[in-house]
Amino acid sequence: MRKIMILGVLASFFMVMSVVLPVYAAETVTVKGEVIDTYCYALMGAKGESHRQCAIDCVKAGIPAGLLEEKTDKVYVLLPNKDKTALPKGVMDKMGRMASITGKVYMSGGSNFLTVESIK
């Protein structure tokens, strides 16, 4: 009985680790696309230079910035590189424009997230 219990604990441990490890083992990637505000893009499809000032105002008001990936139209919600910090200033500078963002991709609850380690 004791061996079965130990095997059960080990199996549970490995199942949990198979879920947890991929989150911490995220690889650094570079994604190219347009920096957007997620509200106006999701509700109205608004993007581009003509929407730039509105996007800046929305992000300043607390609406999450995103990256609309070139060619795939996949949207990544942009996250700072560290907890309890703001996005780099470069994100606001590129709002409504094309950018290449290097960071780590995370997926949770059907949403895509990208940390901003650098932006060009």
Is there a domain that residue 100 lies in? yes
Where in the sequence is the domain holding 108, given as residue range(s)? 26-119
Q: Which residue in 30, 39, 45, 40 sits closest to 98, CA to CA?
A: 30
Burial 14-30, CB ≥16 within 10 A → b, else e? eeeeeeeeeeeeeeeee
Residue 53 has pLDDT above 70, yes or no: yes
Is there a domain that residue 103 lies in? yes
| pLDDT tens column, 63-100 | 999 999 999 999 999 999 999 999 999 999 999 999 99
Residue 80 β-bridge partners = 116
| pLDDT tens column, 6-26 | 655 445 544 555 554 455 558
Name 39's Cβ contacts closer than 8 Å, sequence gap at least 6. Answer: 58, 63
Is there a domain that residue 69 lies in? yes
Which pLDDT does position 19 carry in this prediction? 52
Are the C-beta atoms of 101 and 31 separated by less than 8 Å? yes
